[in-house]
Amino acid sequence: MSDLLLSIRTFIRLCEKPSFTRVAAEMHASHTTIARRLDQVEAHFGTVLFHRTTRRLVPTPEADQLLVHARTLVDALEVAEQELRPVQGDVSGTVRIGVTTALGLYYLGLLSLLSDQHPGLRIDMAMTDWQRDLVQDRLDLALRVGPVGDDMLVVHRLGALPRMLVAHPDYVARHGLPTSADDLPSHRCIAYGYGDLPAKWTVDGRDQLISGPFRSDNSEAVHRAALAGLGIAMLPAVRVADDLEAGRLVRVLPASQIDPIDILAVHPALKRLPARARLVLDFLKANFPGDLPQR
């Protein structure tokens, strides 16, 4: 099978450069070896792939048809090789990542661990809660909230991100604490969302419509609003852990069940993941926050 794969790679190059001489020089092989590899591919598929003359190689319609499948096969194998082969040695270059605000700020605090080991590595972080287009924004990697239903993306699950309800002590002193999820609609709640649809939280398996004095499509703005005492907020646990420890925020309904959100890292399926991007992906996986603060 390895010989056939090499022959298929040779066939692809012959389609791109229809010259035995040029492909032989590129692949550091003899003219005879390149011709033999093409013979192997033609024998395997039982069809003529090139019309050969003393001066020209002309692809047949069957060659055009096979080329699509051959490129898909080779691209998929190269992606698998990049994903499974350990990254070794110093890695340099720029990796552009699209991240959510909360996770971006969390990983930002850990990047020195990566840059100390790889001084030539540069991280370009596109931080927004909007879903960014990988191709248009030239992203090597992007974080998504699952599930992802796009066959053109390779998906890596980073983990489940816990969330919790929190409020500033001053808000609690003025308005008290809800005793159950059913009390939330009567409290001032800080909504995180997009558009004009009513905001709702799912707590203890039930949807609760919430409202309050502030709403934003940016999780950091919601976080700042909670610190300002504007109301109760639902935020990623990793974003409020330090605030809970310092007493700047307190938990609301700590015994209630709030489902975590699945966080995925994605990259284009037909684009080879460079070693530097693979290194960053491994870093994101190894340092994903998963522990729920207990305060």
Looking at the fold, whether 116 and 37 belong to one and the same domain comes out as no
- Do the domain assignments include residue 11? yes
Looking at the fold, whether 111 and 139 belong to one and the same domain comes out as yes
- Do the domain assignments include residue 292? no
Residue 163: CB atoms within 10 A of its CB come to 21
Residue 170: CB atoms within 10 A of its CB come to 10
Residue 253, helix vs strand vs coil: coil
- Do the domain assignments include residue 132? yes
Looking at the fold, whether 139 and 274 belong to one and the same domain comes out as yes
Looking at the fold, whether 242 and 112 belong to one and the same domain comes out as no
pLDDT value at 295 more than 70? no
Residue 199, helix vs strand vs coil: coil
Pairing of strands 232-236, 121-127: unpaired
Mean pLDDT of the chain: 88
Looking at the fold, whether 54 and 27 belong to one and the same domain comes out as yes
Looking at the fold, whether 248 and 173 belong to one and the same domain comes out as yes
Looking at the fold, whether 6 and 57 belong to one and the same domain comes out as yes
Residue numbers of the domain that contains 138: 93-159+261-286
Looking at the fold, whether 72 and 129 belong to one and the same domain comes out as no
- Do the domain assignments include residue 295? no
Looking at the fold, whether 270 and 148 belong to one and the same domain comes out as yes
Cα separation, 295 vs 290, in Å, equals 15
Quick check: pTM over 0.75? Answer: no
Q: What is the CATH number of the domain that holds 128?
A: 3.40.190.10
Q: Which of 86, 250, 283 is nearest to 178 (CA)?
A: 250
What was the pLDDT predicted at 131?
A: 75
What does the block give as tokens for 47? 């069809």
12 contacts 23 by C-beta, under 8 angstroms: no
Beta bridge partners of 94: 122
Helix axes 275-286, 61-84, angle to 10 degrees: 50
Residue 280, helix vs strand vs coil: helix
Q: Which of 84, 105, 136 is the last residue of a domain?
A: 84
Q: How many domains does the chain have?
A: 3
pLDDT in tens, 239-267: 999 999 999 999 999 999 999 999 999 98
Looking at the fold, whether 16 and 79 belong to one and the same domain comes out as yes
Q: Which of 84, 102, 124 is the last residue of a domain?
A: 84
Q: Which of 84, 109, 132 is the last residue of a domain?
A: 84
How far from chain centre, in Å, is Cα 191? 26
Looking at the fold, whether 42 and 103 belong to one and the same domain comes out as no
pLDDT in tens, 86-117: 555 667 788 999 998 889 999 999 999 999 98
37 contacts 70 by C-beta, under 8 angstroms: no
Please give the residue that has the higher pLDDT: either 164 or 198.
164
Residue 59, helix vs strand vs coil: strand
With cut-offs at 50, 70 and 90, classify the pLDDT of residue 79: low
Looking at the fold, whether 174 and 130 belong to one and the same domain comes out as no
- CA distances 242 to 165, 245, 250, 290, Å, are 15, 5, 11, 15
- Do the domain assignments include residue 47? yes
Helices and strands in the chain, H and E counts = 10, 14
Q: What is the CATH number of the domain that holds 243?
A: 3.40.190.290
What was the pLDDT predicted at 271?
A: 65
What does the block give as tokens for 146? 């699952």
Cα separation, 111 vs 59, in Å, equals 50
Q: What is the CATH number of the domain that holds 68?
A: 1.10.10.10
